[in-house]
Structure 1
Amino acid sequence: MSGAVARIGRYVSLYPERVINQTIVELGEATNTGQATIIRFCRLLGFHGFRDIKLALVDDIATERNFVSGQAKANADLGIERLNSSLQLSIQKTAELVDAADMATLARAISATPRAVVFGGGVSQICASLLEYRLLRLGVPVFCVTDSRLAYIAAQKLPANGMAFAVSLSGITADTLDFMKAAQEAGAKTVAITAREKGPLADIADHVLPFHLPGPWPMEGSIRYIAPFVVVVEALAQALDDEMLERRGI
Structure 2
Amino acid sequence: MSVDPRATPGPASSRLRSVLPKLSDSERRVALWVLENVEATIRNSMSAIAQATDVSDTTVLRMCRTAGFEGFTDLKFALAQEPRGGRAEAASDPEASDLHAANRLFRAVAQAISDTQGVLNEGAFAKALDLIAGARHIVVGGVGGSGIVAQAFYQRCIRLGLRCDAPVDSQLQIMHSALTGPDDLVVAISYSGITSDPVLVLQEARSRGAATLCITGNSASPLARLADVVLVSVSHEQGSEPMAAQIAQMALIDALYSALVARNAERAQLTEERMVNAILPKSI
Q: Which residue of 1 aligns with 2:262?
A: 242
> What residue identity is the alignment partner of 2:157?
L
Q: In the TM superposition, what whole-angstrom CA distance separates every residue of 1:18-61 from its partner, at most 9, and x where no partner exists?
A: 6999xxxx9689417449978xxxxxxxxxxx98xxxxxxxxxx
CA gap of 1:35–1:181, structure 2 versus 1, over 3 A, is farther
Instruction: State the 1:229 CA deviation.
Output: 1.1
Query: Mean Cα displacement is larger for which, 228-237 or 66-75?
Result: 66-75
Matched, 1:130 2:162: no
Structure 1: gaps spanning 5 or more residues: 39-49, 52-61
CA gap of 1:85–1:184, structure 2 versus 1, over 3 A, is same
| Aligned-partner SS, 2:256 | helix
> What residue identity is the alignment partner of 1:17?
V
Asked whether the 8 Å contact 1:98–1:232 carries over to 2, the reply is no
CA gap of 1:70–1:247, structure 2 versus 1, over 3 A, is closer
The whole-number CA distance in structure 2 between the counterparts of 1:151 and 1:180 is 10
Q: Which residue of 1 aligns with 2:37?
A: 16
CA gap of 1:14–1:115, structure 2 versus 1, over 3 A, is closer
Alignment of structure 1 residues 1-250 onto 2, 5 Å: 12=33, 16-17=37-38, 30-31=49-50, 33-34=55-56, 65-67=87-89, 74-213=96-235, 215-217=236-238, 219-245=239-265
Instruction: State the 1:185 CA deviation.
Output: 0.6
> What residue identity is the alignment partner of 1:244?
N
Over the matched positions of the two proteins, sequence identity in percent amounts to 23
The whole-number CA distance in structure 2 between the counterparts of 1:193 and 1:241 is 20
The whole-number CA distance in structure 2 between the counterparts of 1:14 and 1:93 is 13
The whole-number CA distance in structure 1 between the counterparts of 2:167 and 2:39 is 43
| Aligned-partner SS, 2:108 | helix
The TM-score normalised by the length of structure 1 is 0.72
The whole-number CA distance in structure 2 between the counterparts of 1:247 and 1:13 is 48
Instruction: State the 1:231 CA deviation.
Output: 1.4
Instruction: State the 1:171 CA deviation.
Output: 0.4
CA gap of 1:208–1:71, structure 2 versus 1, over 3 A, is same
The TM-score normalised by the length of structure 2 is 0.64
> What residue identity is the alignment partner of 2:192?
S
Asked whether the 8 Å contact 2:108–2:244 carries over to 1, the reply is no
The whole-number CA distance in structure 1 between the counterparts of 2:96 and 2:213 is 43
> Higher RCO, 1 or 2 (CA under 8 Å, sep at least 6)?
2
> What residue identity is the alignment partner of 1:12?
W
Q: In the TM superposition, what whole-angstrom CA distance separates every residue of 1:214-240 from its partner, at most 9, and x where no partner exists?
A: x325x4345432221121111111222
Q: Which residue of 2 aligns with 1:46?
A: none
The whole-number CA distance in structure 1 between the counterparts of 2:99 and 2:85 is 13
Aligned length: 214
CA gap of 1:36–1:184, structure 2 versus 1, over 3 A, is farther
The whole-number CA distance in structure 2 between the counterparts of 1:159 and 1:220 is 36
The whole-number CA distance in structure 2 between the counterparts of 1:178 and 1:35 is 39
The whole-number CA distance in structure 2 between the counterparts of 1:184 and 1:13 is 39
CA gap of 1:232–1:19, structure 2 versus 1, over 3 A, is farther
Asked whether the 8 Å contact 1:119–1:144 carries over to 2, the reply is yes
| Aligned-partner SS, 1:205 | coil
CA gap of 1:70–1:132, structure 2 versus 1, over 3 A, is closer
Asked whether the 8 Å contact 1:103–1:239 carries over to 2, the reply is no
Asked whether the 8 Å contact 2:113–2:248 carries over to 1, the reply is yes
The whole-number CA distance in structure 1 between the counterparts of 2:226 and 2:91 is 47
CA gap of 1:168–1:35, structure 2 versus 1, over 3 A, is farther
CA gap of 1:104–1:37, structure 2 versus 1, over 3 A, is closer
